[in-house]
Chain A
Amino acid sequence: MATLLALALLFQDARKFPDPPAGLSPPAPVADAEAGSVAEMKPYREAIPGTDAAFDLVPIPGGTFRMGSPPSEPGRGSDEGPEVEVEIAPFWMARCETSWDEYHPFMLALDRKARAEGKASAAPQDPWADAVSRPTPPYVPMDFEMGVHGFPAISMTQFAARHYTKWLTMKTGRFYRLPSEAEWECACRAGTSTAYSFGDDPRQLGEYAWYFDDSDDAYHPVGTKKPNPFGLHDMHGNVAEWVLDAHEKGFYATLGGHAANPVCWPSQPYPHVVRGGSWDDDAEKLRSAARRGSTMSWKVQDPQIPKSIWYLTNARFVGFRVVRPLHPPPPEEWARYFEPDADSIRAVLEKQRAGGR
Chain B
Amino acid sequence: MLLASRLERAPAGARPGDLLRVALVGCGGRGTGAAIQALSTAGPVHLVAMADAFRDRLDSSLAEIVKAVPERVDVPESRRFVGFEAYKQAIDLDVDVVLLTTPPGFRPEHFAHAVARGRHVFMEKPVAVDAPGVRAVLAAAQVAKQNDLKVGVGLQRHHDPAYRETVRRIQEGAIGKVLFYRCYWNSSGVWTRAREPGWSEMTYQMRNWYYFNWLCGDHIVEQHIHNLDVCNWIQGAPPAQAQGQGGRAVRTGPDTGEIYDHHAVEFTYADGTKMLSQCRHIGSCWDSVSEHAHGTLGVADVSAARITSQGGWDWRHRSGEEGVDPYQAEHDALFAAIRAGTPHMEAEYGATSTMTAIFGRMATYSGRLLKWDEALASNVRLAPERLDWDALPRSLPDAHGRYQSAIPGVTPVL
A binds B: yes
Task: Identify the A interface with B (CB < 8 A).
Answer: 4-5, 8-9, 11-12, 15, 108, 110, 113, 136-141, 143, 145, 217, 297, 300-306, 314, 355, 357
Decide if B191 touches A304 in the complex (CB within 8 Å). no
Which of A138, A305, A355 contacts B187 (CB under 8 A)? Answer: A138
Decide if B289 touches A140 in the complex (CB within 8 Å). yes
What 0/1 pattern do residues 38 to 71 of B give for CB contact below 8 A with A? 0000000000000000000000010011001000
Decide if B323 touches A141 in the complex (CB within 8 Å). no
The 29 listed contacts between A and B (C-beta, < 8 Å) are A8-B251, A8-B253, A8-B256, A9-B253, A9-B254, A11-B253, A108-B188, A108-B284, A113-B283, A137-B189, A137-B191, A137-B283, A139-B223, A141-B289, A145-B287, A217-B316, A297-B322, A300-B325, A303-B29, A303-B33, A303-B327, A304-B28, A304-B29, A304-B30, A305-B32, A305-B33, A306-B29, A314-B323, A357-B29
On whether A12 and B253 interact (CB within 8 A), knowing A303-B327, A304-B29, A355-B194, the answer reads yes
CA distance A9 to B187 in the complex (A): 21
Decide if A137 touches B190 in the complex (CB within 8 Å). yes
Cβ-based interface call for B90 (8 A)? no
Nearest neighbor of B321 in chain A, beta-carbon distance = A297
A104 smallest CB distance to B (angstroms): 8
Cβ-based interface call for B378 (8 A)? no
A311 smallest CB distance to B (angstroms): 12
Nearest neighbor of B36 in chain A, beta-carbon distance = A305
Q: Total interface residues on B, using CB and 8 Å?
A: 42
On whether A12 and B30 interact (CB within 8 A), knowing A301-B327, A305-B68, the answer reads no
Cβ-based interface call for B168 (8 A)? no
Decide if B284 touches A110 in the complex (CB within 8 Å). yes
Decide if B29 touches A141 in the complex (CB within 8 Å). no
Decide if B325 touches A8 in the complex (CB within 8 Å). no
Specify the main secondary structure of chain B where it touches its partner.
Answer: loop
Decide if A140 touches B323 in the complex (CB within 8 Å). no
Nearest neighbor of A298 in chain B, beta-carbon distance = B322
Nearest neighbor of A108 in chain B, beta-carbon distance = B283
Task: Identify the B interface with A (CB < 8 A).
Answer: 28-30, 32-33, 36, 61, 64-65, 68, 156, 186-194, 223, 250-256, 283-284, 287-290, 316, 322-323, 325-327, 400, 402
Which of B30, B64, B193, B326 contacts A301 (CB under 8 A)? Answer: B326
In the complex, which residues of chain B have a beta carbon less than 8 angstroms from the beta carbon of A113?
Answer: 283
Known: A137-B188, A139-B190, A141-B288. 15 other contacts (CB 8 A): A4-B252, A5-B400, A8-B256, A9-B254, A12-B194, A15-B192, A108-B188, A108-B284, A110-B284, A141-B287, A301-B326, A303-B156, A304-B30, A306-B29, A314-B323
On whether A8 and B252 interact (CB within 8 A), knowing A301-B327, A355-B194, the answer reads yes
Decide if A304 touches B253 in the complex (CB within 8 Å). no
A211 smallest CB distance to B (angstroms): 16
CA distance A306 to B290 in the complex (A): 25
CA distance A138 to B33 in the complex (A): 18
CA distance A15 to B61 in the complex (A): 25
In the complex, which residues of chain A have a beta carbon less than 8 angstroms from the beta carbon of B190?
Answer: 137, 139
CA distance A306 to B36 in the complex (A): 11
In the complex, which residues of chain B have a beta carbon less than 8 angstroms from the beta carbon of A141?
Answer: 186-187, 287-289
On whether A12 and B29 interact (CB within 8 A), knowing A108-B283, A141-B187, A357-B191, the answer reads no
Nearest neighbor of A355 in chain B, beta-carbon distance = B194
On whether A145 and B284 interact (CB within 8 A), knowing A9-B254, A108-B188, the answer reads no
Decide if A305 touches B253 in the complex (CB within 8 Å). no
In the complex, which residues of chain B have a beta carbon less than 8 angstroms from the beta carbon of A301?
Answer: 325-327
In the complex, which residues of chain A have a beta carbon less than 8 angstroms from the beta carbon of B191?
Answer: 136-137, 357
In the complex, which residues of chain A have a beta carbon less than 8 angstroms from the beta carbon of B194?
Answer: 12, 355
